[in-house]
Structure 1
């Protein structure tokens, strides 16, 4: 019975992932073809075969579907581990960034679709950068909580800026290798290079 329960949960979770992936991919395809304003949520749902209510269980809007900002993404365990952990701050922050990337579920074909969608609808840049700014504010608060610093401590902001600046080039390199090199390895290697520049004694 225990095995059957686990199997049922696993099947439900797989269906959930498949639905989210289908909505995300079709939203990107439609945006690349018609632009973000060229289709409605209802049209997207009809093509994927789900209800409007189901769509909003996954995404707050079309922009989020295209960018892959899902309401079901949960990295709370990784964030809790970060706040309660000890050890090197930058290593811990890198581990959190890696956990978030691994939760995105994006391969090279999806990345190309996102690029095509953003090229067709440049206004998506605003949504993307708004999400980045919100994430950075949240990360500064997480760091302050972990380190016991004031909320406005400049060190938290610098840590976010430093580690966050590595994300884009690491993503580019990950896709340049067609995803064959683990993202975690790429990120940690680049962080090591950054450390060596900031502190030659490392």
Structure 2
């Protein structure tokens, strides 16, 4: 196992254990020290990867997005054939897979949000916090260098709206499809609504 794989596995263990502890005890019912003891890491190691207890529960890793945005801006991570909106959706799906929002622990994530509803708002607001950086990455990827060019922000805001509606549905409906499938379908519906006003699925 490579160093990168070991680091990813360690982060994953911290995230899963934090979610389990939150479901069992509530966010304020355990300490970071207790979490570190369970996982077998030091407090210093914890803060090398996560800024807070809330962030580890949500899978928000320190500096992880910086590299991803740089690679995306340079034309990487997702297919170069995708249009701007499609590329942001593909990037979001890639990032959600990386942090662990998928069917494998969907029930655990739902239980976390049921136990700590305030975390839903933090999860949704994470998109807003990243908005400026995503906009810059889109601007660089598609060569929209003029600061007065509004296209990058318009596309990013549209993607943020897609993510919010998708997250609202995903976490509210236990029978909803997987997050990436739901997001992809919402992108299709948005395109159909804008171009024809109708869902053209046979």
Match of 1:163 in 2: 159
Match of 1:80 in 2: 74
Distance apart, 1:78 and its partner CA: 2.5
Instruction: Quickly say closer, same or farther: Cα 1:106–1:91, change in 2 above 3 A.
Output: closer
Is the counterpart of residue 17 in structure 1 residue 12 in structure 2?
no
Distance apart, 1:41 and its partner CA: 0.7
2:189 to 165, 168, 193: 193
CA contact (8 A) 2:72 2:137 kept: no
Is the counterpart of residue 59 in structure 1 residue 46 in structure 2?
no
Q: CA RMSD in A?
A: 3.4
Match of 1:42 in 2: 33
Distance apart, 1:86 and its partner CA: 7.9
Distance apart, 1:189 and its partner CA: 4.4
TM-score (norm 2): 0.74
Is the counterpart of residue 91 in structure 1 residue 86 in structure 2?
yes
Q: Distance in 2 between matches of 1:51 and 1:43?
A: 10
State the 4+ residue runs in structure 1 displaced beyond 6 angstroms: none
CA contact (8 A) 1:118 1:125 kept: yes
Match of 2:61 in 1: 70
TM-score (norm 1): 0.74
CA contact (8 A) 1:68 1:104 kept: yes
